[in-house]
Structure 1
Amino acid sequence: MPDLYFYKWCDLKYGINRGIYNTIDALLYEKGYTDVYERRFILTRFLAHSLKQDLYDEKANAIKFGRGNLTIKVTEFVDSHA
Structure 2
Amino acid sequence: MHNKKKIDQLIHLPDLRFVRYCEENFGVNRGIYNIIDAWFYDQDMVNVSNRRKVIIEFFSYLNKEKENFKFGPGGVKAQLENFWISKKDSQVVSA
Sort the TM-score into its range (normalised by shorter chain). 0.7 to 0.9
Gaps of 5+ in 2: 1-12, 88-92
Structure 1: any 5+ residue segments left out of the alignment? 57-62
Runs of 4+ in 1 over 3 A off after TM superposition: none
Amino acid at match of 1:50: L
Equivalent residue letter for 1:80: S
**Structure exhibiting the larger radius of gyration computed from Cα positions:** 2
Cα deviation digits, residues 3-27 of structure 1 (max 9, x gap): 1100000111001000000000000
The alignment status of 1:10 with 2:22, answered yes or no, reads yes
Residue 84 of structure 2 is aligned to residue 72 of structure 1:
no
Aligned to 1:44: 56
The residue type equivalent to 1:74 in the other structure is L
Question: How many residues in Structure 1 have an aligned counterpart in Structure 2?
Answer: 76
Quote the sequence identity (%).
36
1:7–1:18 Cα contact (<8 Å) kept: yes
- Of Structure 1 and Structure 2, the greater strand share is in 1
State the TM-score, normalizing by the size of structure 1.
0.86
**Structure 2 length-normalised TM:** 0.75
- CA RMSD, Structure 1 to Structure 2 (Å): 1.1
